[in-house]
Chain A
């Protein structure tokens, strides 16, 4: 699968927008990055920046998710402003590596000719092939497939699960304990909200 990374080169000031086959390695030294990962050819991006390690991070698809793995670098990575070592990436996420801000796009510009038809049925995903000829998986009648379950994949208001969907950022699933919690800050804000309502009600009575 391909992704597009775009950033402004810290030395030249030029915008760079390469479309790359995953996995993608990012670092300062081309030769320090592995040419292969799990038998797959690695696309290596070298950015000359003092804050970037020789081999800083690897981006790869795993289980239909794009993930980024920091290569034990002291400076780490920020995704949308959050410091982390490993994490999954969404379309349009901003990576901060060194002084570079890199935007990740799953669906490169149309001019690349990449097939943006949807494949898959239960978990929607893009075809992603560069060659549209004889595309074996693409299904032009993709929408019709969901006639048996209208609104499949929709969690907006009125649909099943909409409350959870709107509050999805507040939940935190802990794979170690298996518990699902509200994140602390949000739990606090909910509490305050509740107190506020409570006081208001008291005042009204």
Chain B
């Protein structure tokens, strides 16, 4: 499914069920939309700035020549026109700012999808939900608590599951990968030195949760159960991440990992963690297969 720009502008969501070729094509389109938006944003920003400066210069000039009636009036009108154009350019710029999506999310998705595709049938369908919305949005608010130290202050917590990738490997194992960004925002009134109260807010990232579930064919990997209690040791993660949960059932392995806030948008660290999670899962499954034979 090609990307419908007007629809995408509305919800900043890319959702698709398609094979690798189409997904890669769409991600390429997204990166083109993004770089176009970046360019346009720059262009309109420049236009706004120059027409604003031009307007100011003409305005000063108009004051200087204010005794020469006709010329001064013409200069005032030109100034006005330039300022209006400057505002118009700012409006256009803000429209493109909205489409200037973070490169990190589509670049990461591209890398992960390519890695996974190596063990998939070329015709296999990827089920992808990739959102470019900010984590800190009303829709993603999960709780509001009062600040533990600052009286009258509150803390909003946000959770946004911005990437879900589902599909199936050649060995019929179904995988589901979920990336959930977290953020916190504290806000309230602060009394300044002058005695005036000012409204302040401060946001920070809460890290990134990565959940992977591998639902495997029991016939092939059923022997997993015999080392159920030792699987912890097979999980190897980069230093940027910690293991938060590990569940092994008759049908699936579930691995939950958290990245610290400073790595939550670090493309390399996130890719490395995702890759390590898949490799860890398969270090277990491949041994189970050797035993089941």
Asked if B286 and A123 sit within 8 Å, CB to CB, the answer is yes
Contact assessment for B119 and A123 in the assembled complex, using a CB-CB cutoff below 8 Å: yes
Q: Find the A residue at minimum CB distance from B221.
A: A173
**CB-CB under 8 A for A171 and B226, given A63-B171, A149-B236:** yes
A198 at the interface (CB under 8 A from B): no
In the complex, the 4 A-B pairs of residues with the closest C-beta atoms, listed nearest first: A173-B292, A149-B279, A122-B282, A173-B223
Counting CB contacts under 8 A, is A180 at the interface? yes
Interface residues of B (CB under 8 A from A): 115, 118-119, 169-172, 217-220, 222-223, 225-227, 230, 233-234, 236, 238, 250, 272, 275-276, 278-284, 286-287, 290-293
* A164 at interface, CB cutoff 8 A: yes
Are A121 and B283 touching (Cβ within 8 A)? Answer: no
Contact check: which of A137, A155, A180 meets B225 at CB < 8 Å?
A180
Beta-carbon contact of A146 and B293 below 8 Å = no
Chain A at the B interface: mostly helix, strand, loop or mixed? loop
CB-defined contacts of A180 to chain B, threshold 8 Å: 222-223, 225-226, 291-292
Of chain A, the residue at the smallest CB distance from B290 is: A168
Which residues of the partner chain B approach A119 to less than 8 Å between Cβ atoms? Answer: 118
Quick check: is A194 within 8 A (CB to CB) of the other chain?
no
Partner-B contacts on A (CB < 8 A): 63-64, 88, 119-123, 137, 139, 146, 148-149, 152-153, 155, 160-161, 164-165, 168, 171, 173, 175, 178, 180
Which of B172, B227, B276, B290 has a CB less than 8 Å from the CB of A149?
Answer: B276
Give the residue of B170, B279, B291 whose beta carbon is less than 8 angstroms from that of A146: B279
> In the assembled complex, which residues on chain B have CB atoms less than 8 Å from the CB atom of A164?
226-227, 287, 291
- What are the residues of chain B within 8 A of A63 when measuring CB–CB? 170-172, 217, 220
Inter-chain contacts of B283 with A (CB < 8 A):
149, 152-153, 160-161
Q: Which residues of A contact B250 (CB under 8 A)?
A: 178
Evaluate whether A173 and B171 lie within 8 angstroms (CB atoms) in the complex, with A63-B220, A149-B283, A153-B286 already known.
Answer: no
CB distance from B287 to the nearest CB of A (A): 5
Q: Tell me the bound Cα distance from A175 to B227 in angstroms.
A: 17
Task: State the Cβ distance, A28 to closest chain B Cβ, in Å.
Answer: 30
A173-B287 Cα distance, complex, nearest whole Å? 13
> Which of B275, B280, B284, B291 has the most chain A CB atoms inside 10 A of its CB?
B291
Contact of A165 with B278 at beta-carbon distance under 8 Å, contacts A123-B170, A149-B236, A180-B223 already known: no
In contact, A122 and B278 (Cβ under 8 angstroms): yes
A171–B119 Cα distance when bound, in Å, is 27
Query: A139 CA to B118 CA in the complex, in Å?
Result: 10
Residues of B within 8 A of A175 (CB): 218-219, 222
CA distance A164 to B226 in the complex (A): 9
Contact A161 B293 (CB under 8 A): no
Chain B residues within 8 Å of A121, by CB: 115, 118-119, 278
Q: A162 to chain B: closest CB distance in Å?
A: 10
Whether A161 contacts B234 in the complex (CB less than 8 A), given A120-B119, A121-B119, comes out as yes
CB pair B287 A165 closer than 8 Å: yes
Cα A63 to Cα B220 in complex, Å, equals 10
Q: Which residues of B contact A149 (CB under 8 A)?
A: 236, 275-276, 279-280, 283
Known: A122-B169, A164-B227. A148 touches B272 (CB 8 A): yes
5 residue pairs from A and B, CB less than 8 Å apart: A63-B172, A63-B217, A88-B293, A153-B286, A164-B287
How many angstroms between the C-alpha atoms of A148 and B227 in the bound complex? 23
Considering only CB atoms, which chain B residue lies closest to A88 in the complex? B293
User: Chain A residue with minimal CB distance to B287?
Assistant: A161
Give Cα distance in the complex from A148 to B283, angstroms.
13
Would you give the shortest CB distance from B50 to chain A, in whole angstroms? 49
- Could you tell me the distance in whole angstroms from the C-beta of A146 to the nearest C-beta in chain B? 7
CB-based contact B170/A160 at 8 Å: no
Which residue of B115, B170, B293 has the most chain A CB atoms within 10 A of its CB atom? B293
**Which residues of the partner chain A approach B282 to less than 8 Å between Cβ atoms?**
122-123
**Chain A residues within an 8 Å CB radius of B217:** 63
Residue from B218, B223, B275 with most neighbouring chain A CB atoms (10 Å): B223
Closest partner residue, chain A, to B275 (CB atom): A148
A139 to B117 CA separation, bound complex (whole angstroms): 13
The minimal Cβ–Cβ distance linking A78 to chain B, given in whole angstroms, is 17
Bound Cα distance A171, B224 (Å): 12
A122 touches B279 (CB 8 A): yes
- For A88, A139, A173, A175, the residue with the greatest tally of chain B CB atoms inside 10 Å of its CB is A173
